[in-house]
Structure 1
Amino acid sequence: MDLRKLILVLTFLGALVPFANTFYASYTVQRQQLMDATLDSNYAYASKLAKSTEDFLQASQLQLAYTAQLLATQMDDVGRLGGEATRLRMMSKSFNSITIFDATGKVLATSPEALGLQGRVLNSEAVKAALREKRPLISAPYQSATGNFIVFINHPIVSPAGQYLGAVGGAIYLQKENILDRLLGQHFYIDGSYLFVVDRQKRIIYHPDPQRIGDFVENNAVVDRVAAGESGKGAAVNSHGVSMLAGYAPVASTGWGIVAQRPQAATLAPLTELMQSTLYKALPAVLLTLAFLLWSARLISRPLRLLADGARKMDDPASAGDIRSVKSWYFESRELKKAMLMGIDAIQKSFSKLREDTATDPLTQLGNRRRMDDALRTFESQANTFSVISLDIDHFKAVNDTYGHDAGDEALRCLAQCMREACRAYDVPLRVGGEEFLILLPSTTLATATRVAERLRRAVEEMKIPKVGGITVSLGVANWPQSSFDIEAVLKTADEMLYASKRGGRNRVSVRPSGSDAASVRGA
């Protein structure tokens, strides 16, 4: 490519790159603002509905408490009980059905009577809990004796003398028209926004699609958090694979979680239209600017030619000196020269960072096997004696299974920090596997390395880790050339000593002295 064509290319880049960067930055900022506003709105809406639901549940319990007070002296009057059950259901509109039962769980009255429960003894978990606890309760969702998926709210009936007589309860039929529909069913938009409610077991108890009620929600971070009693906002993917922006809040008395969400695509649709309109209006000015730059490019050929020669070899460390020697006699070429020098500096820093990253374990920030190989080559080339401490976490699978992989990762990071604190500046701590670690100690005898290993073992045993509590490690120690003149054999010996510690009861240091077949075990 000749110089003129190169100048033209640079001219186009000089005009288009800033415009594209500004356009992209504007889009990114506005996109984030829209997403944040939607998340805040959904969080506020979910919090409001959680409060409204909590208020409804408290009001329902007050209604039941009032009815229980009225019935305390009328438990023998079946007709009166039936009338009161009908009155409560018709006046409050809070429940799909009302049931009054005695202290044995026998149904005395229901509304509507078509339920056919009169005289039957109820044995659902909700009724058993009411009879056992003898206090106001809101049940977890369950399948009732009549085949309905319900939530049962009850209040005990106590005589004036304080004797427990039974309870009055209201049922909300989750798969039929109910109070939750009226309370929560107004959150509908044509853009696909909706809300749903889950219980503590992440089972859906309200959803605009009735077919989803009773389903369990899996692999949804937002549902996991709200089912755990947290409130907040975040991105999620629904069961149809649609990216959603969700706000969530728990209902304190029941542990239910309300999630209000809107499709991310619907949130960003106005922004896409706005950016297209902006692009069309900005295009004439961009074209005029390009024409002016093309004309101006004829005046800057010599400095740009020299800079272009330097640009072709920017990965060469000597190119920075060549570019600095270019006599840039006008502002634009000086700025381009400065930018190229900055680019060279950034490239060289990126290469250095890349080399560092390839030798570093991303979780613990310890060295990896590449770092180990480099260190061993250095020790071998310098004929430098060194010791090896091989260690891994005892029962680490149990940590992951009991507390989760996040807690397991935190345990690995804490162990890595403990290793760094136990090491000297020139020691090489490494992570070589899942929970497998090495420490290379240059110019260190077997006895000294064993003392370091024991000190590290005690430090780990005393360390406290969030959620997990404490862990222990088993360690094996070897030395080059005391254990073997072959480096691979030294590493293998350290591993063998590690497994000797495992077999010996874990949480200990094992070392094979020179010329001995027996492992010497320290620690307990």
Structure 2
Amino acid sequence: MTKLFLHKIDLRRLILVLTIVSALVSLANTMQASYLVQSRQLIDSALESNAAYAAKLANSTNDFIEQAQQQLAYSAALLGKNFGDEAAYAAEVDRLRLQTDSFNSVMLLDSRGEVLATSPENQSIMGMTLQTPGVRAAMEEKKPAISTPYISAAGNFIVFISSPVWSPTGKYLGLIGGSIYLRQPSILNRLLASHYHKDGSYVYVVSHDHQLIYHPQSDRVGDYVQGNTVIDKIAKGLNGSEETVNSRQVPVLAGYAVVQSTGWGVVAQRPKAQTLAPIESLMQRVIFKTLPITLISLLVIWWCARQISRPLRLLANSAQSMDDTTTEDRIQTVNSWYFEAQELKRIMLLGIGLLKNNIRRLHADVHTDPLTGLGNRRSLDAALTEFQTANLPFAAVSVDIDFFKKINDTYGHDVGDQVLQSLANCLKEVCRAGDVPCRVGGEEFLILLPGTDKHAAAQMAERLRRQVEAADMPMVGNITVSLGVAHWPDDAKSIAAVLKLADDMLYQAKRGGRNRVAVFE
């Protein structure tokens, strides 16, 4: 199946597919760029508009709060002069509520918090001493105050704006305050509810401690909102705009501003999806405008692909048979008439040469011990197989460094490695061209001497022992080695048994005092 697929999708067809994909990608990139530019403009415009609108509403709310405080201060001054006149109480709280419609309710309290008058009249709280948060805070501070939202004695969720009442002599008499209902129609609702968009946009107001003061969904008023980055910035007193996700996980474009007199934040936000809706029709027009140019570009690219495909196709066919001995000659005959094809042809010829060199180098690395440069166990197994196949007798000399562990423990493994390398050099010096010196363990070495009898092998082992004993090793000075000699097939019919005998002789030499050669008899 794979061969069939590769046969159908040859280099020429692949180039054509890539050119078509490139053209489509170019078209898609143009569409995406247009979409990103237009959407960014719409988003920036919506953010700027929402920020300006939030600032306008914040200023309007701030003006309303200041006017309400002025009205309360004026009433407080009048009542301070007529404190004790119950008729004046009722008249003034009614006037204050009805004259400007700023408050849902107005009340007058004495210095103990007892209700002296209310508008509209509410007999259930008349004469009651209020301990609600807004009243307590205002009485403690004895200055104009705006409360945080709370549940009033009448059960309404309100913001309480108050002004202290002082006598002409400076005695604190109580306070007059107005309530703005947050879950019922109020001037704050009318001020914020008439948002200029009707496409899912809306305005809400939040206190500095993340509590909703106004929201189009009245059942959400009083909720605490967490995890909203816009509200977090309002709590820090910041104004601005940003693209964010609201508490209902809807992407929105929000502008926000702080009401200076209260610390509330006004947020005007619009769903991002509604903002970007006009781009769809715009993108259709962009497609119609760019499609003809794209088709022309495809035709031009298709023609160019056909012109360059032939030399590349020939080179690709040659690449499928790199292991063929004639491949190099066939690549030489390809007419690469342009620069890229010529370079590809040159690189392929260079690659064939490198491949051959790497194979040779890899073969050497696989059969060589990296520390000493001697043969490893693979090299040893290959030589034994060759000797056994050719029925070539050989002597085996097993070599081991005496007290090598002490060298490592005393001087460290780096010095131990240098000793191993020096010993390997000694082995190379005493071995003939056809001998096979190998490192078979940490400090264990084995030499195969093809066509050598046991007597000659023992002489060679003795030469090696004396040479090692006389050599000056780095850092260590002089070392000694123990050697064991055995012969195949004189000593055993099995090669494994002969190697075992050579190893046994090595340990016999160690038991005999080390620095000696032991020959199997």
TM (norm. structure 2) is 0.58
Answering whether residue 126 of structure 2 is matched by residue 118 of structure 1, we say: yes
What are the superposed Cα offsets for residues 144-172 of structure 1, whole Å, 9 maximum, x if unpaired?
00000000000011111111111110000
Answering whether residue 32 of structure 2 is matched by residue 10 of structure 1, we say: no
Q: What CA distance in whole angstroms lies between the structure 2 residues aligned with 1:240 and 1:310?
A: 62
Secondary structure of 2:12's aligned partner: helix
Q: Of 27, 31, 35, which residue of structure 2 is paired with 1:27?
A: 35
Query: 1:157: which partner in 2?
Result: 165
Answering whether residue 257 of structure 2 is matched by residue 249 of structure 1, we say: yes
Q: What CA distance in whole angstroms lies between the structure 1 residues aligned with 2:60 and 2:123?
A: 30
The 5 Å alignment of 1:115-514 reads 116-187=124-195, 189-302=197-310, 305=313, 329=338
- Unpaired segments ≥5 residues, structure 2: 1-8, 321-330, 345-411, 416-521
Secondary structure of 1:241's aligned partner: coil
Q: Is the 8 A contact 2:115 2:125 kept in 1?
A: yes
What are the superposed Cα offsets for residues 354-380 of structure 1, whole Å, 9 maximum, x if unpaired?
xxxxxxxxxxxxxxxxxxxxxxxxxx9
| Paired letter, 2:303 | W
Q: What CA distance in whole angstroms lies between the structure 2 residues aligned with 1:111 and 1:244?
A: 41
What are the superposed Cα offsets for residues 92-146 of structure 1, whole Å, 9 maximum, x if unpaired?
1110000011111111111000363221111112111222111000000000000
Query: Closer, same or farther in 2 for the Cα pair 1:218/1:381, shift >3 Å?
Result: farther
What are the superposed Cα offsets for residues 465-505 of structure 1, whole Å, 9 maximum, x if unpaired?
xxxxxxxxxxxxxxxxxxxxxxxxxxxxxxxxxxxxxxxxx
Query: Closer, same or farther in 2 for the Cα pair 1:162/1:10, shift >3 Å?
Result: same
Identical aligned residues as a percent: 51
Query: 1:81: which partner in 2?
Result: 89
Q: Of 50, 53, 59, which residue of structure 2 is paired with 1:51?
A: 59
Q: What CA distance in whole angstroms lies between the structure 1 residues aligned with 2:294 and 2:45?
A: 32
Q: What CA distance in whole angstroms lies between the structure 2 residues aligned with 1:20 and 1:116?
A: 71
Secondary structure of 1:300's aligned partner: helix
What are the superposed Cα offsets for residues 205-262 of structure 1, whole Å, 9 maximum, x if unpaired?
1001101101111211111111232222222323332111111111122121111111
Query: 1:434: which partner in 2?
Result: none
Q: Is the 8 A contact 1:246 1:261 kept in 2?
A: yes
| Paired letter, 1:253 | S
Query: Closer, same or farther in 2 for the Cα pair 1:307/1:45, shift >3 Å?
Result: farther
Q: What CA distance in whole angstroms lies between the structure 2 residues aligned with 1:80 and 1:100?
A: 11
Aligned residue pair count: 327
Query: 2:115: which partner in 1?
Result: 107
Q: What CA distance in whole angstroms lies between the structure 1 residues aligned with 2:315 and 2:59?
A: 66
Q: Is the 8 A contact 1:86 1:111 kept in 2?
A: yes
Q: Is the 8 A contact 1:198 1:227 kept in 2?
A: no
Q: What CA distance in whole angstroms lies between the structure 2 residues aligned with 1:148 and 1:3?
A: 80
Q: Is the 8 A contact 1:95 1:172 kept in 2?
A: yes
Answering whether residue 46 of structure 2 is matched by residue 65 of structure 1, we say: no
Query: Closer, same or farther in 2 for the Cα pair 1:161/1:257, shift >3 Å?
Result: same
Q: What CA distance in whole angstroms lies between the structure 1 residues aligned with 2:413 and 2:185?
A: 80
- Unpaired segments ≥5 residues, structure 1: 313-321, 338-379, 384-524
Structure exhibiting the larger radius of gyration computed from Cα positions: 2
Q: Is the 8 A contact 1:195 1:208 kept in 2?
A: yes
CA-based RMSD: 3.0
Query: Closer, same or farther in 2 for the Cα pair 1:271/1:9, shift >3 Å?
Result: same
Answering whether residue 110 of structure 2 is matched by residue 98 of structure 1, we say: no
| Paired letter, 1:128 | R
Query: Closer, same or farther in 2 for the Cα pair 1:103/1:6, shift >3 Å?
Result: same
| Paired letter, 2:18 | L
| Cα shift at 1:310 | 13
Q: Is the 8 A contact 2:107 2:119 kept in 1?
A: yes
Query: Closer, same or farther in 2 for the Cα pair 1:310/1:182, shift >3 Å?
Result: farther
Secondary structure of 2:170's aligned partner: coil
Q: What CA distance in whole angstroms lies between the structure 1 residues aligned with 2:414 and 2:60?
A: 74
Query: 1:491: which partner in 2?
Result: none
Task: Identify the range of structure 1 (183-192 vs 199-208) with the bigger mean alpha-carbon deviation.
Answer: 183-192
Q: Is the 8 A contact 1:115 1:146 kept in 2?
A: no
| Cα shift at 1:327 | 6.6
Query: 2:46: which partner in 1?
Result: 38
| Paired letter, 2:23 | A
Q: What CA distance in whole angstroms lies between the structure 2 residues aligned with 1:271 and 1:158?
A: 62
Q: What CA distance in whole angstroms lies between the structure 2 residues aligned with 1:107 and 1:247?
A: 41
| Paired letter, 1:124 | T
Secondary structure of 1:236's aligned partner: strand
Secondary structure of 2:122's aligned partner: helix
Query: Closer, same or farther in 2 for the Cα pair 1:32/1:100, shift >3 Å?
Result: same
Q: Is the 8 A contact 2:227 2:247 kept in 1?
A: no
What are the superposed Cα offsets for residues 160-205 of structure 1, whole Å, 9 maximum, x if unpaired?
1111111110000101001111111111533211111111221111
Q: Is the 8 A contact 1:100 1:167 kept in 2?
A: yes
| Cα shift at 1:272 | 2.3
Query: Closer, same or farther in 2 for the Cα pair 1:280/1:76, shift >3 Å?
Result: same
